[in-house]
Amino acid sequence: MAGLSGGQRKLLIFELIFQRTAPQSDLLIVLDEPFAGVTDDFVPFITDRLNEMRKKHNILLVTNDHVDTLKKMADNTVTVSAIDRTKVKINDREGVDRNLALISMSIGDNYAYSTNNNDLKFFTDVEFSANGGIPGIAGFTTFAFGLFLLTFWNSQPGSEALVLIAAGMISYFSVNPYLLQLVDWRIFMIEEAEALLHSSKSMNKLLKTNLTVLLILIISSIQFGIMQAVIDTLSGVDMYFAILFDNASLMLAPICLGLYTNLSLQAVQILGAFPFLMMIFFSTTFSPGAGVDGLKNLRYLFSRYYLFCMTPSVDIMMEGCPESNNLLYLILSSLLIVFIFLTVIGGMALRSKLQKKKHSESKRQSMMTMEYAELQVELFGEKALKKLKHIGSNVDLKSLENSVRSKSMEDDGTSSDEPVTVSDETV
């Protein structure tokens, strides 16, 4: 959108939202200052679009411009004072408590996006495009392992540790650029999913996780194959899985932190590098036999220690290697960061659930008041009576029925002896 003015960009985004929401229905669309930066010539265009959208959707619009025009279109208006924000005006009702007003307006049906094959195709097209990162990773991996093949060709027995470390570093630095862009990807994906209703956030995160794990699997397999070409003493199924899970132990932290937290890029870079840094210090693979006795026991938490216990020429230098089940210990230790992450996330989720439960109880008490019931009737009319019946409100629903009936007759200019009824239907 280079070269466009601020108003032109706003019109373009507004039209994009209109087109994206056209195939759907019953959405809540929130627009903040749609007229800001737009000349009066385009006001009829925007209002026409708003009228089209309000036929199928619920629109929440925040603005200081062209208020009189919008009031004529709106079903309800909420006026917020710049002086006292604790009270608001809803239609003609003055002095409404702000928190109660928010509760009254927020009760509605939940929207759940149903994913389809188009979402999967869009994800695939983006990830494997030139900007998605995969082609660049493929090119760098080919170049780096090509040099490794040339420079480590015909390595002799006894150099297994050097070959293993060098190949592992190439794998790490091949995947690392993709891991570093996970934070930006998460932020842009959430904005896209929430603002333009393209697809499910959870589905996209799961797809991205699977793709990243697949990338680690492929590059680890390439590493194992190239190592077989330069030296023949690092072979076997156990060695393949040992290399795979050792690589994963260094790369799973950026995936967890980058996709499933709200941490900044800098925080993810620092925390995501900790497994690599701690492996250097505490796995004893860079300093066999050295170190303070108490700290040396931490080596059992690192998969690299068990990998070196399986590596010819250095296994005899490693202290306390398991006599059996070495690969099992390696796999378990490689997943330790995932176990810790899930434990922390689970604890935070439980705490959040308890807080939400407490908040819900306070919210429910507010929903039992007459003022809340009157606000619901003011905002939603007859539909509000059904909701109040459903939540078990203990206010005088009969008087509210009469109020709705009277207002309906005034609006229609007709009279009727039939009362408005409240059904047991779940809304």
Which pLDDT tens digit goes with each residue over 114-126? 666 767 777 787 7
DSSP-derived letter for residue 287 is S
Q: Where are the alpha helices (DSSP H) in 152-283?
A: 160-180, 182-196, 201-230, 237-260, 265-272, 274-282
Give 283: exposed, middle or buried? Use CB within 10 Å, 0-12, 13-18, 19+: buried
Measured on CA atoms in the order 32, 33, 34, 38, is the torsion positive or negative?
negative
- Average the pLDDT over 385-392 and give the result: 69
pLDDT exceeds cutoff 50 at 423: no
What average pLDDT does range 335-362 have in this prediction? 90
DSSP character string of 19-52: HHHTT--S-EEEEE-TTTT--GGGHHHHHHHHHH
pLDDT at 410: 61
CB atoms within 10 A of CB 248: 20
Pair 305, 242: CB distance under 8 Å: no
- Of the candidates 136, 113, 124, 259, the one whose C-alpha atom is nearest the C-alpha of residue 189 is 259
| Residue 420 in this model has a pLDDT that exceeds 50 | no
CA of 60: how far to CAs of 39, 227, 403, 420, in Å?
22, 60, 26, 28
Q: Name the residue type at position 6.
A: G
Nearest of 143, 173, 147, 148 to residue 162 by alpha carbon: 148
For residues 121 and 257, what is the distance between their CA atoms, to the nearest angstrom? Answer: 26
Mean confidence (pLDDT) of the chain:
83
Is a pLDDT exceeding 70 seen at residue 197? no
Q: How close are the terminal C-alpha atoms of the chain, in Å?
A: 43
pLDDT single digits (tens) 203-220? 889 999 999 999 999 999
Confidence tier at 418 by pLDDT (50, 70, 90): very low
**Cα 10 to Cα 42, 104, 385, distances in angstroms:** 11, 31, 39
pLDDT of residue 413 exceeding 60, the answer is: no
Give the angle subtended at the CA of 139 by the CAs of 133 and 144, to the nearest 5°: 120
Report how far residue 225's alpha carbon sits from residue 366's, in angstroms, rounded to the nearest whole number.
Answer: 66
pLDDT score at 56: 85
If we measure between CA atoms, which residue out of 380, 378, 365, 370 comes closest to residue 94?
Answer: 378
- The whole-model pTM stands at 0.69
Collapsing DSSP to helix, strand or coil, 84 comes out as coil
Q: What is the pLDDT of residue 417?
A: 42
Confidence bin at 379 (pLDDT 50/70/90) = confident
Q: Which of 107-111, 192-196, 338-342 has the lowest mean pLDDT?
A: 107-111
Alpha-carbon 290 to chain mean position: 44
Half-sphere exposure of 334 (CA within 13 A, CB side): 23
Per-residue pLDDT, averaged over 253-282, amounts to 94
Q: Are strands 78-80 and 87-90 parallel, antiparallel or unpaired?
A: antiparallel
pLDDT at 55 over 90: no
CA–CA separation, 138 and 187 (whole Å): 24
Give the pLDDT of residue 415. Answer: 43
